[in-house]
Amino acid sequence: MKLARIEIENFRKLGAHGRPFELDFVDSLGRVRDLTLLVGPNTCGKTTILDAIAAAIGPTLELPATRSEFKLSPWQVVSPGALRARVTCWIQFSEDELIATREILSQQESPETVSDVRELELTWEYPDPRGKSRFGYTQCTPRDGWHLLKSRVRVARLLAVRRLDFSWFRLAGGVFTFDQERTGLGRTVSRRLANLIAGGIADADQEIDSKTTDPREILIDMWFKSVVPKTTGETSEFSDFDIVKECYEKLCAPHRITGVKQEKGEIDVFFHDGVSEYSFAGLSSGQRMALLVLIRFVTERIHRSIVLIDELELNQHPIWQRKLLHLIPKMGEENQIIATTHSPYLRDAVRPDAVIDLGQIEDSPIAEPVP
């Protein structure tokens, strides 16, 4: 799944006053770029573009797509004086995704079919002109194209009944938003393990799994699962913990993750800076931000997806900024990264045609790549 073009009307200040705001994400040969950087001054609309993409595609995905602080309400979304906002997306799919979607429908024993059209036009209007859905009204052309957008949630449902395994997430994309706080991380951890991490002992009546957003707990959970022999699911020789560990070392060298061990009655994750070892509490804000990104890519199995990252360089040294820029596209298969940035280091580190300079939104309804 890749976004080739978008047209925005009356979404906040984008496309207001009867002048649709248009962006394309393709190169000179018409191929969707794997990476696009949106640059421009504060208040020019960079984050609003990410919000518009997520808000438009998200309802059809049936999966969370918008950032946690985004509020879907007419007062906060629709331009003053307009009746509703409209966002039109042209989304492209590979042949592999078409084949996978058909197999997923077959596994669901569904009579539905998917046409051979590789590009889907999706139009989202908010508020819903029919007054039926609080998420707005979405139309797809061709009409059966919406099956392609629901592949990921269907894989999740089939996974629960063991008709498919985790490897199918490599063929079913979605939309993932990384906000400035890098929220959105979450993983279910057993109550017994949560108590063990805290140095306590789980009672029999506390065996209720809980969801945590604590990267330390998630890393420890990943480590425990990496040392337990697999009987079902993915057959990869590398565990989630191994992948995060390898990527972290590439990004933050000479800092690296050394492993998990117990100290003073508590289980913790330990790191090394090339001279000495330190615990999770000793991480800098930049290291924590990097870990949040890496963990989410691995645990949510982000592949063939549209990945929206607000302020890619957040809390990172210029050297780490460049490393992160080149590492993130390699974190998953066939992802499209659309990121905002204020960093001149990042702007200069990519091909000029991968940079879209927004300037002041009021200057022009169409933003052009930097020549």
Residue 242 has pLDDT above 70, yes or no: yes
Residues 6+ apart with CB under 8 A from 99: none
Strand pairing partners for 120?
91
In this prediction, residue 17 has a pLDDT band, given cuts at 50, 70 and 90, of: confident
Residue 354 has pLDDT above 50, yes or no: yes
Residue 262 has pLDDT above 90, yes or no: no
> What tokens does 307 get?
């990945």
In this prediction, residue 204 has a pLDDT band, given cuts at 50, 70 and 90, of: very low
Residue of 286 and 230 predicted with greater confidence? 286
pTM equals: 0.90
Alpha carbon distances (Å) from 328 to 176, 227, 307, 312, 341: 13, 26, 10, 10, 15
**How many Å apart are CA 221 and CA 226, to the nearest integer?**
9
The domain made up of 1-174+310-371 is a member of CATH 3.40.50.300: yes
Residue-wise pLDDT for 267-325, tens only, equals: 999 999 999 999 999 999 889 988 999 999 999 999 999 999 999 988 788 888 888 88
Residue 206 has pLDDT above 80, yes or no: no
In this prediction, residue 370 has a pLDDT band, given cuts at 50, 70 and 90, of: low
**How high is the pLDDT of residue 362?**
47
Mean pLDDT of 188-196: 69
Residue of 230 and 97 predicted with greater confidence? 97
Quickly tell me which residue has 């690296």 as its tokens. 256
Residue 360 has pLDDT above 70, yes or no: no
**How high is the pLDDT of residue 364?**
41
> What tokens does 127 get?
């508020």
Mean pLDDT of 14-41: 93
| pLDDT above 90 coverage of the chain, percent | 66
Mean pLDDT of 231-257: 82
Structural domain boundaries in the chain: 1-174+310-371, 182-303
Alpha carbon distances (Å) from 28 to 31, 33, 56, 359, 369: 7, 10, 26, 22, 11
Residue-wise pLDDT for 139-166, tens only, equals: 999 999 999 999 999 999 999 999 999 9
Residue 363 has pLDDT above 50, yes or no: no
In this prediction, residue 265 has a pLDDT band, given cuts at 50, 70 and 90, of: confident
Residue-wise pLDDT for 113-127, tens only, equals: 998 989 999 999 999
Strands (E) across 17-84 are located at: 21-24, 35-39
